[in-house]
Amino acid sequence: MPQLSVVIPAYNEQDNVPRCASEVSRLLDSHNIDYELIFVNDGSTDRTWQRMSQLAASDERIKAINLSRNFGKEGAIFAGLESAGGDAVALMDCDLQHPPATLLEMYNVWNNNRGEIDIVEARKKNRGKEKTIYRLFAKLFYKMIGNMSGLDMRDASDFKLLDRRAVDALLRMPERLTFFRAMSSWVGFRTEKVYFDVGERTSGKSKFSARVSIRYAIHSITSFSSDPMQLVTVAGVITFLIALVFGANTLYNKLTGNSAEGFSTVILLQLVTSAIIMFSLGIIGYYLAKIYEELKHRPRYIIKDKLNFDDKDKS
């Protein structure tokens, strides 16, 4: 078993896969680290898988997993984690936005403190080239997640290195709808931070458009906290208070004899309350859908091919 497994999910990264492989191998080789690179092809529609197979054929330390379709980054991450055999498993993006030099730094932190530090997480020193509005949303999102889960998620990323103990703990978590970034904090263990500058994407486009990011944010919050459902209760309480005030006001008007309450007030109240009800039902419905999805116990991913994994490795 190697010392270090590096899991690299890739979706339509045909040009980044070879570049990432050569940069990471060169660096780890030059420091005599015993490693395996595990590329996970997340249902790419370009030549990503061909590139991975070529790499796997040329170097047995480069392993490749081909998923049957695009399962999303979370699925790809867990496919890699479950197949990794290293004493430590690191996760990094394929587009070299996660600098290999930081990977080495994380490895050294772990290796010099074996048995003590089980997780090394890389935090973003800056957020790279991002629009201000996006940055604002990200900040709000992590604040919410932080408040709800009690985990410090500011500037967190999926760029992490986990000791075997932490990986096994993570893999024992049974949920289907995963959120790696938060789950790897939730398992506890002593965690050390390193900081990195988010680099430029070497080629290709980001897979996280505004729409995907919003969906990912909602998914992450709800997979980690049921607090949004409490909003329903809060909305109920607020509506009730408003109703009390209005009721008292109407009664007062009636008693003082000028009950010229308008039809429009009724309509307005109707609209407000039905909006709150629909909004609340929406939130509950969302959780119901999540429960339904979890209940189906479907796999997090489906593997089509695996290259360079011998029988001794877990599959």
Q: Which residues bind Mg ion (CB under 5 A)?
A: 93, 95, 97
Contacted entry of Mg ion, ligand UDP, none for residue 13, CB cut-off 5 to 8 Å set by kind: ligand UDP
Considering beta carbons, is residue 208 or 252 the nearer one to ligand UDP? 208
Which amino acid is it at 238?
Answer: I
Q: Which position among 4, 6, 7, 10 is part of the footprint of ligand UDP (CB under 6 A)?
A: 10
Q: How many CA atoms lie less than 13 Å away from 1 in the CB half-sphere?
A: 14
d(CA 232, CA 235) in angstroms, rounded, equals: 5
Q: How far is the CB of 136 from Mg ion (least distance, A)?
A: 19
Considering beta carbons, is residue 207 or 219 the nearer one to Mg ion? 207
Going by C-beta distance under 8 Å and a sequence separation of 6 or more, which residues neighbour residue 223?
175, 177, 178, 179, 290
The first and second tokens of residue 190, run together, are 């002593």
The burial class, CB within 10 Å (0-12 / 13-18 / 19+), for 144 is middle
x/- map, 68-97, ligand UDP, by CB under 6 A: --x-xx--x----------------xxx-x
Kindly state the number of chain residues that form the binding site for ligand UDP, as judged by CB under 6 A. Answer: 16
Looking at 7-15, 132-140, 165-173, 292-300, which segment touches ligand UDP (CB under 6 A)?
A: 7-15
Q: Which residue is nearest to ligand UDP (CB)?
A: 206
For residues 182 and 153, the answer to whether their CB atoms sit within 8 Å is: yes
Considering beta carbons, is residue 93 or 118 the nearer one to Mg ion? 93
Looking at 66-74, 168-176, 248-256, 260-268, which segment touches ligand UDP (CB under 6 A)?
A: 66-74
Contacted entry of Mg ion, ligand UDP, none for residue 70, CB cut-off 5 to 8 Å set by kind: ligand UDP
Q: Which position among 13, 36, 87, 121 is part of the footprint of ligand UDP (CB under 6 A)?
A: 13
The burial class, CB within 10 Å (0-12 / 13-18 / 19+), for 137 is middle
Contacted entry of ligand UDP, Mg ion, none for residue 44, CB cut-off 5 to 8 Å set by kind: none
Q: How far is the CB of 177 from ligand UDP (least distance, A)?
A: 15
Residues in region 33-52 near ligand UDP by CB under 6 A? 42
For residues 3 and 88, the answer to whether their CB atoms sit within 8 Å is: yes
Considering beta carbons, is residue 35 or 78 the nearer one to ligand UDP? 78
The first and second tokens of residue 203, run together, are 């080629």
For residues 65 and 40, the answer to whether their CB atoms sit within 8 Å is: yes
Considering beta carbons, is residue 184 or 280 the nearer one to ligand UDP? 184
Q: How far is the CB of 293 from ligand UDP (least distance, A)?
A: 17
Q: How far is the CB of 20 from ligand UDP (least distance, A)?
A: 8
Helices (H), the chain: 16-30, 48-58, 72-83, 100-112, 132-149, 164-171, 180-186, 210-224, 227-256, 263-295
* Unique residue bearing structure tokens 């990986």: 167
Angle between helices 16-30 and 100-112 in degrees, nearest 10: 40
d(CA 204, CA 300) in angstroms, rounded, equals: 26
Contacted entry of ligand UDP, Mg ion, none for residue 94, CB cut-off 5 to 8 Å set by kind: ligand UDP
Contacted entry of Mg ion, ligand UDP, none for residue 250, CB cut-off 5 to 8 Å set by kind: none
For residues 205 and 97, the answer to whether their CB atoms sit within 8 Å is: no
The first and second tokens of residue 177, run together, are 């709808």
Q: Please give the DSSP secondary-structure letter assigned to residue 10.
A: E
98 sits near ligand UDP (criterion: CB under 6 A): no
Sites of contact with ligand UDP (CB under 6 A): 9-11, 13, 42, 70, 72-73, 76, 93-95, 97, 206-208
